[in-house]
Amino acid sequence: MASEHARLGWLRNIAVLLVIWEIVGRFHLVASGALPAPSAVLARFWADKSDYLPHVLATLEASFFGFVIGNAIAIAAGIAFVMSPLMLRLFRGVNIALFALPPIAISPVLVLTFSGMAPRVILAALGCYFATMTATVLGLSQADQRSLDVVRAYGGSRFDEMRFVQLRNALPSILGGFRVAAPAAVLGAILAEFGGGGRFGLGTYLLGSLGRADPPRLWGIGLTATLIAGLAYAAFALWGARVTGASRAVTVPTSAPPPAAGPGSQIAVLLLAAAAALLPLLLWWLLLTILQVPEMIAKTPAGIIDYLFIGGGAEQARARLVAALLETLPYTIAGLAAGLVFALALAVLSDLFPAITRSFMPVALVTQTMPLVALTPLLVLLLGRGTALILWVTISVTFFPSFVTIAQGMSMVPRAALDVPRAYGASKRQQLMLITIPASLPYLFAAMRLAAPRALLGVMIAEWLATGTGLGNLLNQSRGYLDYGMIWTVAVVSVLVAVAFYQAVVIIERWTLSRLGMKTTE
Amino acid sequence: MAGDRSIRLREVSKTFRTRGETFTALQSVSLDCEAGSFTALIGPSGCGKSTLLRLALGLDTADTGSAEIGGLAPKAAASTGTTGVAFQDSALLPWRSAEANIALPLDVLGKRREDYAARIKELIGLVGLSGFENALPGELSGGMRQRVSIARALVTSPGVLFLDEPFGALDQILRRQMNIELQRIWSESRATTLLVTHGIDEAVFLADRIVVMKSKPGRIATIIDVPFSRPREKSLFQSPEFHALNDVVARALHGE
């Protein structure tokens, strides 16, 4: 009964929302018609239906191949990392770079280096890699130690442990990774389409329609992209639920997995860290050498140093880069801070008034599957091309994931811990300050790690598509001028900035949590 | 099952290093379990009884000293299928049915499941799980899961059986019941058995002899023989001799 009641409530909410939207759209109440009525969007969609097919197919094709390739690499890498902790350490630099890099920044570089669908497939694959890789590592290494003992007790090899216990144990986790990766692949493909190359694709369609002052069409494309990403998510969510439901874990691991082979000497640790930092550069250089891209177009690390510090016009290039960074960084930090503060505030409110969680959480979860940054053109429509847009885009891409992470952390505070202050008559506010907030600190940091690279991506997209300022614009301009040195420089610098943000959060997190005797969360 | 089925530990020592501190889990421990004997290891937490079992099973290696099963190194013995093992946590694979879980050692040893179909059916009957062959562990109760785990330990018809607190996670009532069943099952197979346990009554009821261990460093304090004849019936739990021997073991544990 209760669940049926809730479902009816849901339907009612959606119906009310649609009616309000229709009224608002009909009477041009928002930004003089920038928000069209759903009926108008549908009508436009119907009129455009023959245009959609090639665009949708192109995006689906890139997403699909990116998804398959990205996940295959991610699972193989995950297995390798679990088999060899040395590999995991060696690839730390590569992994962080792949996690933090703003896809839009490397999109032009990919278009220069590869041809045809390849840039899109690569960005879609990059979108999948990190989620599935971490899910694989987590699933494989969380296998029940006792079950592994049983296999070993019958003379089973490391390979047998993988085959009989670890791989199957990791399946639900890997499917969870796929669920996150599926919409990420769609987003990656659309962002690559923003970056140019190719006539078809929802991203291309969206950008092409941006100048036409046709809000219903823009909304139609945005909603179609959202729908595709959402369906991809839902498909894997269903599959995951089936697999997990059938084989619920029954044994609680009694012992933690054995610690990874400890670091040897201080020197070995330093060498390994240096190797991990240099590996991404080596791979970059190696890739260009193998592909034999002309030196004029493809810049190696040495080429970028030459461009920025040695060659003619180096000083000018540096000045333009610094000016762009000074425009981009303040917005990134402000947007990130605002997104996190809003998320924390709403999470605290939800803890005080659970009704907020009940009504808002489903919305926040749905946004997780939305290609939010790809919807920037819609925000341009609503907010214009002013700098306020940068903040709104950045806040919207950082707020939702942060809220979900923090609220989840708060809901996982053990009830028993809250019972003690409650038994002494503590107020709601005291419980929050004494228990809930400190206990969910690890999740706050996890939210920061997640949000920091997204903030940079959000700022760059807004700059590229709308405001004509900062790194995003510098990249877009350099594309127009065929300034290859600058295209590569901006790509590299934005990856470095994103990694620096990420590392800064990790350092603060480790310092704070180790002082409090807490552990980091994944 | 042919040949020697003894377990022989010679002067084994094992230390663990945690945060710069060295912890001596076992110091020069020797133990012989004759073929067909049932030995229980009992002692406080940290006395090295589980470590001793893991060394004998080849899951860990000793710093010094040697472990042999029937004259072979433990790992070599394990890969011939001589040994069987059950742990405290039933350690079943949640995605395999009861039957498939019992067959896991066969898969690891590279044996054909079809050749053992009759054996698996017989074992399921022996542990009282007929009708639950295709149930997943999540659908079974704690006691039933533990029975699956015992059946799994017996599937290769092992000559040597290792039991690491196999009933540690069960409540006292269920535990008694399982002790009685294990006693019956063991009487039929007569495998050389090494049982690690926290329960004095469990050790007295099941074993031929009880090895009492002490911690810091882990070592054998004394060995107590259990004179009760087999098969042992449920009524043994109520007999004065049983209680008297329980007291002897308890006193040995508390260092008198």
Strands B7-18, B64-69: pairing kind: antiparallel
Q: What is the pLDDT of residue B3?
A: 53
Q: Which candidate, B201, B218, B196, places its Cα nearest to that of B62? A: B218
Phi, psi of A398 (to 5 degrees): -100, -30
Nearest CA in chain B to A145: B91
Gap between the Cα atoms of B87 and A253, Å rounded: 12
Which helix (H) or strand (E) segment is B179 a member of?
helix B172-189
Which helix (H) or strand (E) segment is B243 a member of?
helix B240-253
Q: What is the pLDDT of residue B163?
A: 94
The CATH code for residues A303-522 is 1.10.3720.10
Whether residue A152 and residue B59 make contact (CB cut-off 8 A), yes or no, is yes
Q: pTM of the entire structure?
A: 0.82
Q: What is the pLDDT of residue A259?
A: 36
Bridge partners of B224, per DSSP, are: B210
Q: To 5 degrees, how large is the angle CA A211–CA A214–CA A220?
A: 110
- Per-residue model confidence as pLDDT tens digits over A438-485: 888 888 998 998 899 989 999 999 998 888 899 999 998 998 888 889
- Per-residue model confidence as pLDDT tens digits over A475-520: 989 988 888 899 999 999 999 999 999 989 989 988 888 888 777 7
Q: Which candidate, A124, A18, A143, places its Cα nearest to that of A62? A: A124
- Per-residue model confidence as pLDDT tens digits over A195-210: 777 789 888 898 888 7
Whether residue A250 and residue B145 make contact (CB cut-off 8 A), yes or no, is yes
Asked, colleague to colleague, whether A34-248 and A303-522 share their fold, the answer is yes
The single residue listed with the structure tokens 């993988």 is A162
Which tokens is A280 given? 């991404």
Q: Which candidate, A98, A102, A206, places its Cα nearest to that of A475? A: A102
A262 has pLDDT over 70: no
| Ranges of each domain in chain A | 1-30, 34-248, 265-298, 303-522
- List, as ranges, residues 235-264 from A with C-beta within 8 Å of B: 246-252, 254
Residue A117 is which amino acid? M
Whether residue B152 and residue A149 make contact (CB cut-off 8 A), yes or no, is no
- Per-residue model confidence as pLDDT tens digits over B214-230: 988 889 999 999 999 88
Residue A143 Cα, gap to closest chain B Cα (Å) = 10
Residues of B in contact with A142 (CB under 8 A): none
Mean pLDDT across A273-301: 86
Which tokens is B192 given? 């050389």
For chain A, say whether B75 makes contact (Cβ under 8 Å). yes
Nearest CA in chain A to B149: A150
* CB pairs A-B closer than 8 Å: 82
Q: To 5 degrees, how large is the angle CA A34–CA A40–CA A43?
A: 140
A10 has pLDDT over 90: no
Measured CA to CA in angstroms, residue A7 lies from A13, A16, A20 at distances of 10, 14, 20
Q: What is the pLDDT of residue A31?
A: 66
Gap between the Cα atoms of A122 and A211, Å rounded: 28
The pLDDT > 90 percentage for chain A reads 26
Q: Are the C-beta atoms of A105 and A460 separated by less than 8 Å?
A: yes
Which helix (H) or strand (E) segment is B13 a member of?
strand B7-18
Low-confidence ranges of chain B (pLDDT < 50): 1-2
String of b and e for A417-455 (b: at least 16 CB within 10 Å)? ebeeeeeeebeeeebbeebbbebbbbbbbbbbbbbbbbb
Measured CA to CA in angstroms, residue A404 lies from A127, A279, A363, B149, B179 at distances of 20, 34, 10, 40, 49
Q: What is the pLDDT of residue A522?
A: 56
Whether residue A149 and residue B59 make contact (CB cut-off 8 A), yes or no, is yes
Best of B79, B90, B101, B108 to mutate (most A CBs within 10 Å, chain A): B108
Nearest CA in chain B to A170: B95
String of b and e for B165-192 (b: at least 16 CB within 10 Å)? bbbbbbeeeebbebbbbbbebbeebbbb
Under the banding of pLDDT at 50, 70 and 90, the label for residue A236 is: confident
Measured CA to CA in angstroms, residue A159 lies from A81, A135, A372, B76, B108 at distances of 14, 20, 42, 17, 10
Whether residue A254 and residue B59 make contact (CB cut-off 8 A), yes or no, is no
Bridge partners of B8, per DSSP, are: B32, B68
- Per-residue model confidence as pLDDT tens digits over A22-62: 888 888 777 666 778 888 889 988 988 888 999 999 999 99
Q: What is the pLDDT of residue B256?
A: 59
Average pLDDT, chain A: 85
Q: Are the C-beta atoms of A82 and A141 separated by less than 8 Å?
A: yes
The SS3 of residue B128 is coil
All domains of chain B in start order, with CATH: 1-82+208-244 (3.40.50.300)
Q: What is the pLDDT of residue A337?
A: 95
Gap between the Cα atoms of A495 and A475, Å rounded: 13
| Yes or no: domain A34-248 corresponds to CATH 1.20.120.530 | no
- Per-residue model confidence as pLDDT tens digits over A128-184: 998 899 889 988 988 888 899 999 999 888 899 999 999 998 888 888 889 889 988
Q: Which candidate, B204, B197, B199, B256, places its Cα nearest to that of B227? A: B204
Gap between the Cα atoms of A201 and A497, Å rounded: 29
Strands B192-197, B38-42: pairing kind: parallel
A254 has pLDDT over 90: no
Q: What is the pLDDT of residue A186?
A: 92
Q: What is the pLDDT of residue A375?
A: 81
Q: What is the pLDDT of residue A371?
A: 77
Under the banding of pLDDT at 50, 70 and 90, the label for residue A264 is: low
Under the banding of pLDDT at 50, 70 and 90, the label for residue A4 is: low
User: Which of B89, B104, B105 is closest, CB to CB, to A251?
Assistant: B89
Mean pLDDT across A369-397: 83
Gap between the Cα atoms of A57 and A63, Å rounded: 10
Q: What is the pLDDT of residue A260?
A: 47
Residue B108 Cα, gap to closest chain A Cα (Å) = 6
Q: Are the C-beta atoms of A466 and A380 separated by less than 8 Å?
A: yes
Residues of A in contact with B138 (CB under 8 A): 247-250
Q: Are the C-beta atoms of A189 and A201 separated by less than 8 Å?
A: yes
